[in-house]
Amino acid sequence: MNNFEFYSPAHLVFGKGVENRVGEMLVGKCKKVLLHFGGGSVKRSGLYDRITASLEKAGIAYCVQGGVVPNPRLSLVYEGIDLCKKEGVDLILAVGGGSVIDSAKAIAMGVCYDGDVWDMYQTGKAIEKALPVVTVLTIPAAGSEASGDTVITNEEKQLKYGYGSNHLRPLMSFMNPELFYTLPENQVANGIADMMSHVFERYFTNTTHVELTDRLCEATLKTIMHNAHKVLDNPENYEAWCEIGFAGTVAHNGLVGCGRDQDWGCHNMEHELSAIYDVAHGAGLAVLTPAWMKYVYKDNIPMFVQFATQVMGVEGSFRQPEDIILEGIEKLRMFFLSIGQPATLSEMGIEEKDFELMAKKCTGAAFGAEHPVGGLKKLYWQDVLNIYKLANE
Amino acid sequence: MNNFEFYSPAHLVFGKGVENRVGEMLVGKCKKVLLHFGGGSVKRSGLYDRITASLEKAGIAYCVQGGVVPNPRLSLVYEGIDLCKKEGVDLILAVGGGSVIDSAKAIAMGVCYDGDVWDMYQTGKAIEKALPVVTVLTIPAAGSEASGDTVITNEEKQLKYGYGSNHLRPLMSFMNPELFYTLPENQVANGIADMMSHVFERYFTNTTHVELTDRLCEATLKTIMHNAHKVLDNPENYEAWCEIGFAGTVAHNGLVGCGRDQDWGCHNMEHELSAIYDVAHGAGLAVLTPAWMKYVYKDNIPMFVQFATQVMGVEGSFRQPEDIILEGIEKLRMFFLSIGQPATLSEMGIEEKDFELMAKKCTGAAFGAEHPVGGLKKLYWQDVLNIYKLANE
């Protein structure tokens, strides 16, 4: 096991009706919040009214900025920073899914930084502070409600970069699984793929003697897969949504990755897809992950045998480990198809002519300084290209 | 799943040599710390010198109070509170195991409270604040390094009471598994029984639809059992100690109990033993837990079938569920014996003549106001008495 730090301070408030407690829980923590959200659904559903009523009852002032889109944009972040400075906002309340929360985190650090907030995404420069972020989650997927991570798209430059800091970990997150009932099926499926990928990126490692986190990863993955069809078949299955929602947080609050080298190859490869094509992150991951597994498994046969048997439930002879592994990968691919994910990149509208450019952007080769991505196997741009091609078969 | 809150802000710093980072990590967080510890072993091992050197290098002043004993005592807590007030201490640095940390938490809240700190233990009264507590763990067992709980013995009154508050959750905890190499075998065995019990108290529940936490409990229990003999057979097995140490934190930071009614019957019954006899908490739990299981399993057959098959690995026909359950309980009992735990209460020196008094104190019947203990099955003093007797067979 590697040395590690685990720090997940977000106070999770979970269950029916918890959005009505936002105001009371924020008393003494802020004077004026920015209520940050996406489209009109939070208003149509009544969530907006419940939260603003709760803030008003608690005597907390607020101003409002909607309009966050999937693959959240830098231009809106700039507007949010200006608004917060003008209005004297001291806490960002993100109401939405990962995109809204990531956008809120960008604003939270931008308000406390004198330069251009894109600097952090571009250079990875450490921040000293940020405004506190509180979330009310409406889409379980990104795990951003407990993580210190944010991913922003610079639409001018066609770049999608991530950034992480403990200063960006939310102070508090409210999760009412009833809010997930009205999600469109494709968003549910994308969320499931995304949270599974957050575990996979930590699970697949060459670090040995990481037994507890191996088991925790497997527990989380099995729970997600076991409940995925339940929420897709019956969108008002509260108990199944509880499992999916809570698993989404556990998948990305850092716990299941403690003491392990991590991978993040698939996430890096996917970001290139959605930077150019604006496709759903989860769908890209669902297509890329089985292809990545096929490409890399020979580098760590025991890791993939464990995955196939302990996560995917493959039985068979350990004397043909590759058979077990390939069956496990195929079962995962079939699972993704069964929840409605596309089978290939071309099915997502991604054209083969762009593969090479995306591969070169992914590793930095396009910018003259290549840094391979991935942990279990280091991937150079040619590897990434091969995986994109495998993901198109 | 029940509504729940999960809040575990302790920043865990884990791995080789982390005790040397205490000073640098505390910069800006305090001016003067109380270094609180137990006996001379922290000095003999050099740990005391490494920590004070780290504090001095970081320019942090400190004063010192040793002398904490197992089942930590209220009288020392009072002395610590006085010392902190006199010295202007603003952070308690606990170097030790659960007893030292629990004692530190009592001091931390006592310094900020005008009355007698025993009030909280006696009445459960909520606190508004406490000094921050930071821990350097030397015994993995109590989980106190991440929990908000403290248990103190009022030696005058022969009472051992627990108290919990989010204000008592440590700010930071340092865990170097190398520090566990020199623990005596019985302390290792007691720690293992204690951390397993922290999971059991959460695992055994009548709450349904708690799949993720069921799996997380099982993952934690299996990891502890799988590594217990490794550390007992080879006290310098760093990797196995990493698993045990980290599992001890996960067992008690609140995660694996989220959304579930909890039990805590065995802990309540054990506290009566150690209040009178000053026996080791873990040993008491190891003796009581299988007896409790035998006494209550009929109230929730599916829960105990899951335990026997998923945790203890019992195979067999589900058509005789009681056979499976009894085999699981017996396997657990044999596991505790195999790590050196006693088989009966009398083996621990506890006399049958005291059973009734302890049972009546446990539920409050001795004080004229009975509150049954336990969650899966409510236990009145007669039940507790029956379990003490079963634990003596």
User: B220, exposed or middle or buried, with CB in 10 Å at 0-12, 13-18, 19+?
Assistant: buried
Sign of the torsion formed by the C-alpha atoms of B292, B294, B295 and B301 = positive
Confidence of residue A86 (pLDDT cuts 50, 70, 90): very high
What is the C-alpha to C-alpha distance for residues B308 and B327, in angstroms, rounded to an integer?
A: 7
Question: Does position A306 have pLDDT exceeding 90, yes or no?
Answer: yes
Long-range contacts from B115-121, C-beta under 8 angstroms, 24+ separation: B117/B74, B117/B77, B117/B78, B117/B81, B118/B74, B118/B152, B118/B154, B120/B163, B120/B165, B121/B152, B121/B154, B121/B161, B121/B162, B121/B163
Please choose, from the candidates A119, A105, A187, A190, the residue with its C-alpha nearest in 3D space to the C-alpha of residue A151.
A105
How does pLDDT run across A254-287, given as a tens digit for each residue?
999 999 999 999 999 999 998 888 899 999 999 9
CB contact under 8 A, B14 and A258: yes
Rounded percentage of chain A residues whose pLDDT exceeds 70 = 100
**Separation CA B201–CA A299 (nearest Å):** 41
Tell me how close the Cα of A229 comes to any Cα of chain B, in angstroms: 15
Do residue A13 and residue B1 have CB atoms under 8 angstroms apart? no
Q: What is the number of CB-based contacts under 8 A between chain A and chain B?
A: 117
Convert the pLDDT of each residue in A10-66 to its tens digit: 999 999 999 999 999 999 999 999 999 998 899 999 999 999 999 999 999 999 999
Which sequence spans correspond to the domains of chain A?
A: 11-179, 185-390
Architecture of domain A11-179: 3-Layer(aba) Sandwich (3.40)
Fold of A185-390: Dehydroquinate synthase-like, alpha domain (1.20.1090)
Cβ of B223 under 8 Å from any chain A Cβ? yes
pLDDT band for A224, please (50, 70, 90 cuts).
Answer: very high
Identify the burial level of A203 via C-beta atoms within 10 angstroms of its C-beta, where 0-12 means exposed, 13-18 middle and 19 or more buried: buried
| Contacting A residues, span 193-222, partner chain B, CB-CB under 8 Å | 208-209, 211-212, 215-216, 218-220, 222
**Statement: residue A67 has pLDDT above 90:** yes
Contact yes or no for B8 and A8 at CB 8 A: yes
**Cβ of residue B246 closer than 8 Å to a chain A Cβ:** yes
Which pLDDT value is given to residue B367?
A: 92
- Please report which helix (H) or strand (E) contains residue A172, including its range: strand A172-175
**Residue A327 and residue A307: Cα distance in Å, rounded?**
11
Question: Is some CB atom of chain B closer than 8 A to the CB atom of A6?
Answer: yes
- Say which of B11, B216, B242 has its CB closest to residue A259: B242
Inter-chain residue contact A211 with B2, CB threshold 8 Å:
no
| CB–CB contact A250 B250 (8 Å) | no
pLDDT (0 to 100) of residue B181: 97
Q: Is A235 on the interface with B (CB under 8 A)?
A: no
Confidence check: pLDDT of B40 > 90: no
Contact B363, B381 (CB under 8 A): yes
Q: Which two tokens stand for residue B185?
A: 């075998």
Residue A132 neighbours by CB distance under 10 Å = 20
Asked if residue A274 lies in contact with residue A102, where contact means CB atoms within 8 angstroms, the answer is: no
What pLDDT is attached to residue B318? Answer: 85
Rounded to whole angstroms, the Cα distance separating B381 from B371 reads 9
C-beta of residue A15 within 8 angstroms of C-beta of residue A70: no
**Smallest Cα–Cα separation from A376: which of A215, A266, A280, A285?**
A266
- A170 is written with which tokens? 């939310």
pLDDT above 90 (res B13): yes
- Nearest-CA neighbor of B329 among B283, B296, B373, B356? B296
Chain A neighbors of B16, CB-CB under 8 A: 3
Residue B316 pLDDT:
82
User: What does the pLDDT average to over B82-97?
Assistant: 98
DSSP state letter for A183: -
What is the fold of B183-390? Answer: Dehydroquinate synthase-like, alpha domain (1.20.1090)
| Average pLDDT over chain A, rounded to an integer | 96
Cβ(A308)–Cβ(A325) under 8 Å? yes
Tell me: the pLDDT tens digits for B202-233? 999 999 999 999 999 999 999 999 999 999 99
Q: Nearest CB to A15: which of B3, B211, B243? A: B3
> What pTM value is reported for the model?
0.96
Cα(B82)–Cα(B78) distance, rounded to whole angstroms? 6
Question: What's the gap in Å between the CA of A6 and the closest CA on chain B?
Answer: 5
